[in-house]
Amino acid sequence: MTAELVRGQNHPLSQVRLEVRVSAGRPVVAGATLSDEQGRVRGAEWVAHPGAPTLPGLEVSKQAAADHRLAFDLDALPGTVHRVSVLLALPAGVGPVRFGAVAAPFVAVTGLDGSEVASYTITGLDTESAVVALELYRRQGAWKVRAVGQGYAGGLAELLTDQGLPEARRLADSINEAVAQGLARSVPAPPPRTPDADRSRHAAASAPGPDQPYAGPQGASGTVPPLQTPSSSPYDTPGGQGVTVPQPGYQGGTAQPDPSAVAQPSGPTTGPVDYSHPGRRTSAPPPPPPTAPPAPPGQPARPVAGDATGWSMEERLYNQVWGMFEDLARSTAAYRSAVDFADSRMEQELDKALSDPRSRIGGQSEAAREAAQAKHADLVDQARAALDRDLAQLAAEADVVEPALPAAYARWDNPVWHGYRVPMEIPMAVRLGDLHLPESEELSIPMLVRLPLERGLWIDSGRATLEDSLADSDELRRLAMDTAVANAARLLAVHPAGEFTVHVIDPAGSAAPSLAPLVRSGVLDGPPAAGATGVADVLTRLTQRVDLVQMAVRGGAADSLPPGLDTAEQLLIVNDFPHGFDDRAVTQLRYLADEGPAVGVHLMLVADREDAAGYGPLLDPLWRGLLRLTPVPDDHLADPWVGHAWVYEPALVPPGSQVLQQVLSQVAAARRSWNR
């Protein structure tokens, strides 16, 4: 079955001899770049393009065409290659200059027999004239394909520069020259593009000409969606091709190695792709990630903490965590799909057996029912065995990754907190809880959110969506405030001294027990604001700060901010919202939620959704704009790839632990020293 990918989604490859087929509707240039474990293209000899169409393990077309067929032999790639990026570009000086003016390119990864493995339609392009369509990359010793769709308005020169190629402009000019020479030859128009509905059954016909096959980016975040994303990650974010006729001499889609190419063997590197493009950085490359010792024959590779791509151990661990999230989502989706298929097949067989009245006589109907149920059980058992195998591998990886996480990513019971020191730099992400699925309750994936926060948080203290919880209303409100304090303390702990300020609004003073660690340690900007006057004072000060910073940024006069203005990131915790808020205060709060994150002011509401509904539709945008978290486990978070409802579990301090007070004491001491 073909996997129809969306931007940022990946899919495993079960074979190493492949073709990437591109259908663009008009002539485009197809190429590929090879990247090492840091995501860098080492030189022009690592780029396959119309002027140099052959590299070890891949071949690309010699000219621009509406359709391309690019050939890969992943086992023949140099050992130093971590991923292959498939590139598309519009020919310079001929026809449209942006992908937004042409039909969305369609890319498919197929076997040598033409059967599609994965496909991707590159949508959302506008002013871009070059795009990274797909990437083939290694993870845990296996190859995967990821849909990228990352476009570049600056064309091939900008794309190659982003991948770390020093002579990007010169190489882009040589590619355009080779394409211009190819276009000088008469190329007949290609046949009509294959309809979308038939792509899974018919390969697109190739345009006649001396085209040759080819090979191949990098979201969470995302992050994608990351992008990501980065999603991204969801949270962050966190990047087409054609079909060409192979020349004589192209044997079965396998590109012949070029002895003149650079190929030094090295161990494969695993991990999800970092869409921030390390080529933009000016620091020296990091040391290579750790590698696992060779596994016994027939055994999976032993997991190693930090073996993903990245320029620091923190970044590698972040990418590794999101790779685990993607793998768990994919494995569970495959299991659920197999179970649905088994259920549907059993129903069809029972309907067919019972549709004939004659089968109801004697024991024929019972025999048919037992046979259908046996087939159903066999299919489900096979699917569960595959899922259990994947879960065992992920659990082994989690066992080595969790103890190696830095403080920003670690649980509160991780020993890393006992050696805590106030950091000098802001981390790239922070842990706000854990995620798991019903099929894998014992396997939790850290929920990492990129910093700075792009949206506020709503800690839901109501019972409307937490009916399965055994806690009463008062207990839920206390747990919600404890969750808010734990998250605020973590944000304070992972920022350098003086780089993060916390304000608290507690109109009725009901959160005093939960706020005690923050108040006793002295890390708050001031005492929790109470009463209508306190609420108005804090909201007015933060609103004025947002206005001042916005005007300074938009006017290009950041140096003109008042000398006493606190330029640190600001977090406002509001307890028991909307009690104690009048219409003006609610309007100010909405303004902070909408405009604050862009200028470093973030919101954390502790509120019952039903109580807030009393304001009517006024607060609906606030509810939709904040990331909802719960003080008890709840399945309310959905990922954009396969639509799983992930169970969120808050990151709370273990009962009786003094780690929170110890960490906050160090933060307070560092803040006092910094303010001297």
Report residue 376's pLDDT band, with 50, 70 and 90 as the boundaries.
very high
Kindly report, residue by residue over 576-605, the tens digit of the pLDDT: 887 878 888 888 988 999 999 988 999 999
As a three-state string, the secondary structure of 517-556 is HHHHHCCECCCCECHHHHHHHHHHHHHHHHHHHHHHHHCC
pLDDT at 534 > cutoff 70:
yes
pLDDT at 543 > cutoff 90:
yes
pLDDT for 674: 75
pLDDT at 344 > cutoff 60:
yes
- As given in the structure block, the two tokens for residue 58 are 């891949």
Residue 661 CB burial class (10 angstroms; 0-12, 13-18, ≥19): middle
Report residue 285's pLDDT band, with 50, 70 and 90 as the boundaries.
low
Residue 28 to residue 107: CA distance in whole angstroms: 13
Residue 150 CB burial class (10 angstroms; 0-12, 13-18, ≥19): buried
- As given in the structure block, the two tokens for residue 462 are 């109501």
Q: Which residue has better confidence, 377 or 365?
A: 377
Q: Which of 132-141, 170-179, 186-195, 393-402 has the lowest mean pLDDT?
A: 186-195
Kindly report, residue by residue over 500-511, the tens digit of the pLDDT: 999 999 998 889
Q: Which of 87-96, 573-582, 614-623 has the lowest mean pLDDT?
A: 614-623
pLDDT for 514: 92
Residue 532 to residue 538: CA distance in whole angstroms: 10
pLDDT at 208 > cutoff 60:
no
pLDDT for 360: 62
3-state secondary structure of 614: helix
pLDDT at 251 > cutoff 60:
no
pLDDT at 225 > cutoff 50:
no
Mean pLDDT of the chain: 80
Range with the largest mean pLDDT of 134-138, 193-197, 244-248, 358-362 = 134-138
Q: Which residue has better confidence, 643 or 527?
A: 527
Report residue 114's pLDDT band, with 50, 70 and 90 as the boundaries.
confident
pLDDT at 262 > cutoff 70:
no
Residue 74 to residue 241: CA distance in whole angstroms: 18
Q: Is the dihedral of CA 458, 460, 464, 468 positive or negative?
A: positive
Report residue 182's pLDDT band, with 50, 70 and 90 as the boundaries.
confident
First to last CA, the chain: 65
pLDDT at 550 > cutoff 60:
yes
pLDDT at 292 > cutoff 60:
yes
Report residue 289's pLDDT band, with 50, 70 and 90 as the boundaries.
low
pLDDT at 280 > cutoff 60:
no
Report residue 638's pLDDT band, with 50, 70 and 90 as the boundaries.
confident
* Selection from 282, 280, 285 nearest residue 309 by Cα: 285
pLDDT at 403 > cutoff 80:
yes
pLDDT for 636: 85
* Selection from 388, 423, 392 nearest residue 409 by Cα: 423
pLDDT at 348 > cutoff 90:
no
What percent of the chain clears pLDDT 90, i.e. is strictly above it?
Answer: 37
pLDDT at 215 > cutoff 70:
no
Q: Which of 269-273, 349-353, 524-528 has the lowest mean pLDDT?
A: 269-273
Residue 103 CB burial class (10 angstroms; 0-12, 13-18, ≥19): middle
